[in-house]
Chain A
C-alpha cells in the first residue's frame, strides 16, 4: 500500500518566490516523518524531521495529522535549492519513501 504520496514529480519556481513541496501519508499509528534532499551527484541528506520542528536552509515542514500531510515550505527559493526532494515515513522496521519531487529554481 502506498504510504507516502508526493503528487508533483517536477516543480519549477523563480528565484525569490515561495516554494511548497507536497507530501501526504497514510498511516494508522503515530508516524515519524522526514524530508530528504539529494543534490546532483551528492548523497541523500536528511533535511528535516518532524519531531525536531527545526528550520534547515530556510525550509520548514509542519505535520498536519488532520490532513495527513507534511508539506515542505520555504518563503524565498534560492538557485542552490534545485534538487530532488523525498518525503519519507518511518514505521517499525520500515522506511517508506515517496516518489520524489524534482525542484528547479529558475534564476
Chain B
C-alpha cells in the first residue's frame, strides 16, 4: 500500500457538533502531518507528529485536537468549529522523521463544511 488514505471524503457539520477526521498510511513513514487548504491557496501546516509524538503545533486553535494512536494512524478531532474553518484538510506522511526534511506524500483530503 503506497498511498495515504483519508476518511471521510466530505463532511458537513454544525458549530456544536463533534466529529473526527481519519488518516492512515502503511508505508512505514515516521512523520505525519495535518494541513488546512483553502481554495486556490497553498496548504497551511497545522500539526506534525514524529514517532507518534506531537512535535509541531502551528498555533492552531484548541477546537482542533490531533491524535496519533499508532505509527500508521492520525486523527483530527473537531469540536465547536466556526464557518471560517471550512476548508480541505490534508494529511501527509514522510519517510524521514520530522527534523529531517524529506518528501511528503499527501492524502486526497477531507472537504469540510461548517454551517
Bound Cα distance A84, B88 (Å): 15
1/0 per position for A58-91, CB-CB distance to B under 8 A?
Answer: 0000000000000000000000000010100011
B residues within 8 A CB of A11?
Answer: none
Q: By DSSP majority rule, is chain A's interface helix, strand, loop, or mixed? A: strand
Q: Which residue of B lies closest to A32 (CB)?
A: B101
* Complex alpha-carbon distance, A98 and B55, angstroms: 23
B28 interface hit (Cβ, 8 Å): no
Q: How far is the CA of A43 from the CA of B35 in the complex (A)?
A: 13
Residues of A within 8 A of B42 (CB): 86, 97-100
Q: Provide the bound-state CA to CA distance between A91 and B103, in Å.
A: 11
Contact (Cβ within 8 A) A44 B56:
no
Over the window 77-91 of chain B, the binary record of Cβ atoms lying under 8 Å from chain A Cβ atoms (1 yes, 0 no) is 000000000000010
Which residue from A44, A93, A97, A99 sits with its C-beta under 8 Å from B99?
Answer: A93
Minimum CB–CB distance from A33 to chain B (whole Å) comes to: 10
Given the known A-B contacts A44-B90, A98-B42, A100-B42, are A93 and B55 also in contact in the complex, defined by CB atoms under 8 Å? yes
Instruction: Tell me which residues from 32 to 66 in chain B have a Cβ below 8 Å from any Cβ of chain A.
Output: 33, 40-43, 45, 48, 50, 55-56
- Bound form: Cα–Cα A93–B33 in Å: 11
Interface centre among A42, A44, A46 (most CB of B within 10 A): A44
Which chain B residues border A32 with CB–CB below 8 Å? 101-102
A45 within 8 A of B: yes
Q: Please, how many angstroms separate the alpha-carbon atoms of A19 and B90 in the complex?
A: 29
Closest residue of chain B to A95 (Cβ to Cβ) is B104
Rounded to whole Å, the gap between the CB of A7 and the closest CB of chain B is 14
Complex contacts, B41 vs chain A, CB 8 Å: 99-100
Top 10 A-B pairs ranked by shortest CB distance?
Answer: A90-B101, A97-B42, A44-B106, A32-B101, A43-B108, A93-B98, A46-B103, A43-B106, A93-B56, A100-B42
Chain A residues with CB under 8 Å of chain B are: 32, 34, 36, 42-46, 49, 84, 86, 90-95, 97-100, 102
